[in-house]
Amino acid sequence: MTAETKRKRERPNDRNSDRKFPIVALGSSAGGLEELETFFLNMPPDTGMAFVIVTHLEPHHASLMAQIISKTTTMEAVQAEDNMVVHKNKIYVIPPGKDMRITDGTLRLSERSPGPDNFLPIDNFLRSLADDRKENAFAIILSGNGSDGSMGIRAIHANLGMTMVQSMETAKYDSMPRSAIDTGLVDYILPTNEMPGILTSYIHVLRARAQPSKAELVGEEDVIHKILAMVKKQTGHDFSRYKKSTISRRIERRMAVHRMDTKAQYMSYLEANVKEITILFKELVIEVTSFFRDPKAFESLKNVLRETFFRPTSEKGHLRMWVTACSTGEEVYSIGIVLRELMEETGEYLRVQIFGTDINEEAINAARAGDYSPSITNDVDKERLNKYFIKHEGGYKVRKEIREMVIFTSHNVIQDPPFLHLDIVSCRNLLIYFEPVLQRKVLETFSMALNPNGILFLGASESITGFDDRFTTVDPRARIYQRRQYLPSAPPKDIFVPFEKGAVAGRAQAGLSRVPSLNERIEKVFLDEYTPAGLVVNEKNEIVYFHGHINKYLDPASGRANLGIRSLLHENIRYIVMSLIDEVRSSGGIAIKEATRVRSNGSTTYLNIIARSLDHGPVSDILVVFDEKAVPEELLKANEQAAGPCNDARIGELERELNYAKVNLKNTIEQLETTNEELTSTNEELTSTNEELQSNNEELQSVVEESETGKEELNSLNEELLTVNTELERKNQELSQLNSDMRNLLNSVDEATIFLDNKTRIRRFTPQIERITNLLPGDLGRPIMDIAIRLRYEDFFADIAGVLDSLNTKEKEVQTKDGHWYKLRIMPYRTVENVIDGVVITFTDINEQKIVQERLLSLTEEAQASQEYAESIVNTVKEPLLILDQNLIVRSANASFLEQFEASSEDIQGEQIGGILNGAWNIPSLIDRLKGLSGEETAMEDFPAEAAIPTLGKTRFEITARKLLIPSGRSGSILISFHRP
C-alpha cells in the first residue's frame, strides 16, 4: 500500500473524528533550529495536538529538519507532502522551496512565490490555519529575522486562537519576535523551554470548558452582564447587544490564558486588575482585516462606483464615504486606491473624503500612520504596491495622495451620531457580531446617513434582510446595495441608541424580556408616533438623549465625532436653538421660537422650537423640542405665485428673525452694561493705586535719567561688541565646519597620516597611524624625532628634512619591523596662502600587493626553470617530437625533429601541422585522430602513416600522441612522436 493510498483511505475518518483537535504552528528563521529542539525536548508526546513547523529554508537544498527534530521527541516527525492529512501527536515540517496552507485538516503545498518580498510562508500558513481551526489554532513565533508571522498572529487572534512569542532577550535574532509583539495581540511572551508547560495548561482549560454543566450555564449569563458593565464603565463602550455566543467565547479565551475554570473567577480577576479590562475590550473588538479582502467583491465595487459616480454625464463634484469598524485602516486605503484608479481611468477627478472610524484608539492611530508590514504583498499586487506605496526597510507606507483622502477618528457606530450626506458606506463583517435588534438599528442609521442612490457595501455573510423598502440589491454576491431614491413615509425612529444614564446593560436587557402591559404599549405608540422630536443637553451643551424623528434637524460636521449640540445642529436652526438655550440658562422658564422655517433634503418645514429646563432647581439639563407645523395655505400659495425670492412670506420670516436678533442683542447689551459697571468700580480702585505708584515713579525718574546717559554709552559699546561677536561667531562656525569635514575625511580614508609643522612637530594624525607608531593625543606638539617609529628605514627623519628643504615630494616603499609593507609619501604642506608650513606623511598599505608580487616572481622563476628543464629533457630524446596546442598549431619541436626533417623552428612554429614540410602531414585520417585528442580522447598509439618528406621522399611512420593536462585538469597541449619502423 502506497503512502498516498494510505492517506486517501485514512482521510474520511480523520476529518470526522479529529476535526477539532488543536494544531500548533511554529514559525522560525535564523537561530530557530536550536529553539525548536528545546521546545520538543520539553513537550510531552501525547498531548493530542499536532505540530507544524514553518521555517525559511534554502529552496535548492534538501532539508534535514524532520530528522533533526525526531531526535528530540518520540513523536513522529515527517516532511510535509501535498494533500497530507494532519494527525494529532505528530510533527510536520514544510519542505524547501514550497509554500504551505491547510484546508479542512489537509496540508496543501504550492511553489514558493518568486522574490524575497513575496515569500512569507509563516504568515501564509497561519492565516489559513486561523480560518481552518478557529479557536483550536495556536501560533508560536521563535527566533528569526524580518517580520514574517506578524500578520498571521493577527489572524489567529481574531479567530480566538492562542499566540506565543519567544522573549526577545532569549532570541538569537529578535526581529520576528519583536514584530509579533508589536501587534499587541500576543498572549504569552516567554523563553522557549517554558512554552510547552503553558501550552498544555491552556489546552486543559479549553477542554474543561468545552462541555459546561447546566448549573454553570444558568449562573453565567448574569456574570457576563456584570463583566460587560465593567467594560462599559471603563471604556464607555457597550457590548451588551453583541451576540452572546461571540462575547462568551472571547471571555473564555481570556480565561484560558489565565488558566481559570469559571467566569465568576475571571470577573473577580477583572475587579482586582483594571488593565485586564482594557485587554478584554481589545479582545471584544474584532479586528479581522486585510487589503482588498475578497478581491472579487472589490472588483464588483469598482464597477458599481464607475457606473454610479464616474459617468461623463455625472455632475458629482465630490464623494463622501464612511468606512465603519475600519480597524488598522487596510480597507479604507483599499477603497481609496480603487477611487484613485477610477479617477485616473475616467479622467473624472472628484474631491474625495473618506471617514474611517473604529472604537479602538490604538487601531485608529495605526491606521493614521498608514505603515504596514512586508506581508501585505500577499494581498496587494505588485503594480499597486509600486504605485500607491513607498517601500522602506520595515515594510510599506501608503503614499500621500491616498492618505490625504482619509480622515480617521474614534467613533462608535452603535451610540454615536452618524456622518450624514454620504455617497458610500462600507460596513463589512461587523453586523454579523450584532444581535438582530442592533443589526436593524445600524441599517436604519445607514439608510438615513446615505444620500439617495448611495452605495452600501457589506460583508460576505451580511445582508439587508427586512430593509428592501430602503435598499435595492446591486450585486448579491459582493453584497453591494443602493439606497432607494425615496424612503418609506414613516422614517425610522431613534436613529441613535440613547445613552443609558446610571443603568447597567444587564438590567436593561432584563427589562426588555418582560411583556409590556396594554397601557404601556399604547403610551409607547403615542410617544413614538404622535409626539414631536426632541433632545436633551447637559450643562456642557452635550446631547445626552434623542427622541423621535430627530435626524432632519441634525447635520454633523466632518472630522472627529462629538455630541456637542452646536456641531450637530443643522445650520438653518443652529443660531436659534443656541439662543433659546442661553435664554433658559440665564432666566429659567421656557423659551419659544415660533414658525421657524427649516429646509432639509429639498423640502421645507415650519416648526416651533421650544426650550425649557428639565428640573425645578438650578438649570442643568435642558429639553429642546422641535414641534412641526403645517405650512399655512396662504403662504404656500404666495410661494407658488412669487417670481423672485423677495416675497411677503420671506420678508415676514426675515422680520421675525430680525426681531429675535434684536431681542437677543438687547439681552447681550444688558449683560455687557452690568459687566461694564463692575469694571468701572474696579477701575476706580486701580486709579487710586495708580496715584500712589505715580508718586513713587517720580522719585525713580531722576535715578533713571542719571543712568540713561550711562546706558546710552553702554548700548553703543554693546552694539560694537555685538558686531564683532557676530563676525567671530560666523568665522568660528566656518572653522568648526571645516574642522568637522577634515576630521571626517581623514577618518574615512584608510591611510595612516601624520601632519607636521615646519619644525617637524606633530600637528595632527589619523587613528590608523597606531600600526606604525604608538602616538597618543598627548603627543601633539612633540617633535617627530622624539617618537619611536617602527620602520626599517634609517633615512626617515633625513628625508623629512629634505622635503622641507627641497619642497619635492618623496615616495618610497618601506617595511615595518614586523615585516608589513607600506608606500611612504612625504610632501610639503601648503597653506591657503601657498606658504609651506610643514609636511604631510602618508602610509598606504601595500602589503597584499607585495605578497602577490613576490609570489608571482617566485612562480615565474619556478615556471622558467621547469620549462628549461622540460626542454632539456625533450631535446635529449632521439625520436622526433612536436608539441601542438588544442588547435593543432605547432608550438615547439625538439632538436631531433629539426635535424631529421631538415627544418628550422622559424619555418614550423605557429603553423598548422598539416601545413608544415610542404603539407607532408596533411593526412585527413591523421588530422581527425589528432582533433579527437582535443576532445574526449587522451592518447593515440602507433598510428600508421605515409608522408612525402621533402628530404626523405615517401616514408612510413608510426605516430604516437598524448594529451598533456595542465594542473587545473583542463586540456593543454598535444605531444607527438614520429617513429620509423
pLDDT of residue 639 exceeding 50, the answer is no
Domain 877-979 listed as CATH 3.30.450.20: yes
Residue showing cell 497530507: 84
Q: How far apart are CA 160 and CA 286, in angstroms?
A: 10
Q: Supply φ then ψ for residue 791, to 5 degrees.
A: -130, 145
Question: pLDDT higher for 562 or 894?
Answer: 894
CATH number assigned to the domain with residue range 3-207, chosen from the 4 options 3.40.50.170, 3.20.20.60, 1.10.3720.10, 3.40.50.180? 3.40.50.180
pLDDT of residue 877 exceeding 80, the answer is no
Quick check: 765 and 775 in contact, CB under 8 A?
yes
Q: How far apart are CA 773 and CA 834, in angstroms?
A: 30
> What's the pLDDT tens digit per position in 457-512?
998 888 888 888 889 999 999 999 999 887 764 444 444 444 343 333 333 333 33
In which residue ranges of the chain is CATH 3.40.50.150 found? 295-483
pLDDT of residue 309 exceeding 80, the answer is yes
Q: Fold for 749-845, please state it.
A: Beta-Lactamase (3.30.450)
pLDDT at 716: 39
> How large is the average pLDDT for residues 450-461?
91
Residue showing cell 471571555: 251
In which residue ranges of the chain is CATH 3.30.450.20 found? 518-630, 749-845, 877-979
**β-sheet bridge partners, residue 91:** 51, 77
pLDDT at 654: 61
> What's the pLDDT tens digit per position in 189-221?
999 999 999 999 888 877 776 555 555 555 678
> How large is the average pLDDT for residues 791-819?
86
pLDDT of residue 282 exceeding 90, the answer is no
Strand order in the sheet with 821-830: 762-765, 752-756, 836-845, 821-830, 810-815
pLDDT at 621: 83
Q: How far apart are CA 494 and CA 528, in angstroms?
A: 9
pLDDT of residue 535 exceeding 50, the answer is yes
Most confident of 511-515, 605-609, 688-692: 605-609
Comparing 250-264, 315-329, 587-601, 646-660, the range with the smallest average pLDDT is 646-660
Average pLDDT, the chain: 79
> How large is the average pLDDT for residues 398-412?
91
Comparing 370-384, 808-822, 864-878, the range with the smallest average pLDDT is 864-878
> How large is the average pLDDT for residues 500-526?
45
* Helical (H) or strand (E) element with 756: strand 752-756
How would you classify the pairing of strands 23-28 and 137-141? parallel
In which residue ranges of the chain is CATH 1.10.155 found? 212-284
pTM confidence score: 0.50
pLDDT of residue 666 exceeding 80, the answer is no
- CATH code assigned to 295-483: 3.40.50.150
Contacts of residue 611, defined as CB under 8 A and 6 or more positions apart, other chains included, come to 577, 580, 581, 583, 584, 590, 591, 592, 622, 623, 624, 625
SS3 category, 973: strand
Inter-axis angle of helices 214-235 and 274-284, nearest 10: 100
Contacts of residue 558, defined as CB under 8 A and 6 or more positions apart, other chains included, come to 353, 355, 407, 419
pLDDT at 551: 78
Quick check: 322 and 287 in contact, CB under 8 A?
no
In which residue ranges of the chain is CATH 3.40.50.180 found? 3-207
Could you tell me where the DSSP H helices lie in 20-116? 32-41, 65-70
Quick check: 197 and 57 in contact, CB under 8 A?
no
Residue showing cell 622635503: 803
DSSP symbols for 792-811: S-TTHHHHHHHHHHH---EE
pLDDT at 151: 86
Q: Supply φ then ψ for residue 115, to 5 degrees.
A: 85, 145
> What's the pLDDT tens digit per position in 324-383?
999 889 999 999 999 999 999 998 888 899 999 998 888 899 899 999 888 888 889 989
* Contacts of the segment 277-282: beta carbons below 8 A, 24+ positions apart: 277/230, 277/231, 277/234, 277/235, 278/234, 278/235, 279/254, 280/227, 280/231, 280/250, 280/251, 280/254, 281/231, 281/234, 281/235, 281/237, 282/184, 282/185, 282/360, 282/362
> What's the pLDDT tens digit per position in 917-935?
888 888 888 888 888 887 7
Strands (E), 502-621: 533-537, 543-547, 590-600, 603-613
- CATH code assigned to 518-630: 3.30.450.20
pLDDT of residue 777 exceeding 90, the answer is no
* Helical (H) or strand (E) element with 446: helix 436-449
pLDDT at 491: 46
Q: How far apart are CA 109 and CA 117, in angstroms?
A: 19
Amino acid sitting at position 285: V
pLDDT of residue 642 exceeding 80, the answer is no
DSSP symbols for 111-168: EPPSSSTT--HHHHHHHHHHHHHGGGEEEEE-S-SS-TTHHHHHHHHHTT-EEEEE-G
Q: How far is CA 208 from CA 203, 212, 270, 800, in A?
A: 9, 7, 21, 89
pLDDT at 719: 40
> What's the pLDDT tens digit per position in 833-863?
777 888 999 888 888 888 888 888 877 777 6
Residues 621-640 as b or e (16 or more Cβ within 10 Å = b): ebbbbbbeeeeeeebeeeee
Question: pLDDT higher for 528 or 183?
Answer: 183
* Helical (H) or strand (E) element with 452: strand 450-458
SS3 category, 208: helix
* DSSP secondary structure code for residue 759 in this structure: T
**β-sheet bridge partners, residue 603:** 600
**β-sheet bridge partners, residue 814:** 822
Domain 212-284 listed as CATH 1.10.155: yes
